[in-house]
Amino acid sequence: MVADRFIQNQICRRGHAKLTSVFLGRSPRNAPSADEIAEKATRGEDISAYFTNKFTVVRPVRRVNVDLTEGMLRELDQRAARLNISRQAVIKTLLGRALKDDPLSSPRLRKKSQ
């Protein structure tokens, strides 16, 4: 259950846009659409207030194939259904957490053990 709450928190943090800071205190309801901002730019109006210059670097993704037992797939699907997210989201979150929490995954420790 703790891992389920962790996954939900991660998805909420990653999936929730911070629109209020982007629009300088304006509520997202009153925020202009992307098309409206594009029209302003076309007319030569200043649209810099709509951009924060804060962004996240998206690392390249590589596809991999992983063989899992039927039992593992069943557990992953049950957890995904309980959290209302995809199986892939469950796998990526659990794997990322396991790598982060593993003391051997620290680059400093890996160099000493080699």
When pLDDT is averaged across residues 81-85 and rounded to a whole number, the result is: 95
Residue with tokens 């909420």: 12
Is residue 93 within 8 Å of 99, Cβ to Cβ? no
CA distance 47 to 41: 6
Written as six digits, the tokens of 87 are 């199986």
> pLDDT tens for residues 67-77?
999 999 999 99
> pLDDT tens for residues 5-57?
555 555 444 444 343 334 444 455 677 888 999 999 999 999 888 887 777 88
> No. of H helices and E strands in the chain?
6, 0
CA distance 8 to 2: 10
Is this structure's pTM higher than 0.75? no
Q: Where are the domains of the chain?
A: 16-57, 67-109
Written as six digits, the tokens of 99 are 């790598």
